[in-house]
Amino acid sequence: MSRPTDITASADSNMGQHPHNRPIVISPAFRFLKRSFDIVFSLIGMVVGSPLFLVVFLAIKLEDGKTAIFRQERLGYGGRPFIMYKFRSMEITAESDDRPTLCSGHKDKRLTRVGALLRKHHLDELPQLWNVIRGDMSLVGYRPERRFFIERIMTINPDYRLLYHMRPGLFSTATLYNGYTDTMEKMLERLNMDLEYLYHHSLWIDMKIIFVTMFSILSGKTF
């Protein structure tokens, strides 16, 4: 049984130190099109997915009778905090000692039975469509993280702050190919992938990431 990993564990001091000296250019036209794309497809996703939302909500409530929606502060666009929503996948006491720890995937011992299934197929992320509609997030971008972990990442690679030029995302290349990040090494690898997206962003890349991610989820692939 896997255990949650404390990200304060040591990491190779050379990892992730790849300075990005090029200027970041995100045109107003791209921002407008991306935001329009986010709103339209998130609304469609919430309407079409509403039966699934209801099934997941009831499954969580029936398992232990506790809250089905999990709320947690993350840092997003401009480094500003926002409340991110998820379907609760862990026991209520998962971080009862107030020490932030990362989930090591769908086999983490703190997961509920329903939560393990949700994590395995990333269905716990569905409520973040509401974050996209609100403007906290985009459909595609870097995965938002807690301040606690960001501060530790930035002691090794301060380029993390460059991600604040765009909204965090529900989908990302890093999540698709790097999976759950439960070690500092994987956090730094994810950061490098997110920076690559930042410098090469396009609506075509966004659509490709969404399509490949959805295909992977529907085909039962775990990542």
Q: How many structural domains are present in the chain?
A: 1
* CA–CA separation, 17 and 157 (whole Å): 5
With respect to residue 223, please indicate whether it lies within any of the assigned structural domains. no
Is residue 19 within a helix (H) or strand (E), and if so which, with residue range?
Answer: none
* CA–CA separation, 204 and 207 (whole Å): 5
With respect to residue 16, please indicate whether it lies within any of the assigned structural domains. no
List pLDDT tens digits, range 35-58. 999 999 999 999 999 999 999 999
State how far Cα 141 lies from the chain centre. Answer: 9
Contact 116, 94 (CB under 8 A): no
With respect to residue 18, please indicate whether it lies within any of the assigned structural domains. no
With respect to residue 8, please indicate whether it lies within any of the assigned structural domains. no
pLDDT computed for residue 14 by the predictor: 38
84: helix, strand or coil: strand
* CA–CA separation, 209 and 205 (whole Å): 6
With respect to residue 5, please indicate whether it lies within any of the assigned structural domains. no
With respect to residue 87, please indicate whether it lies within any of the assigned structural domains. yes
Rounded to two decimals, the pTM is 0.86
In this structure, the number of other CB atoms found within 10 A of the CB of residue 221 comes to 11
With respect to residue 23, please indicate whether it lies within any of the assigned structural domains. no
List pLDDT tens digits, range 133-186. 999 999 999 999 999 999 999 999 999 999 999 999 999 998 888 877 888 899
Per the structure, the complete domain to which residue 139 belongs is given by: 28-218
With respect to residue 173, please indicate whether it lies within any of the assigned structural domains. yes
Dihedral of CA atoms 176, 133, 120, 102 in degrees, nearest 10, equals 80
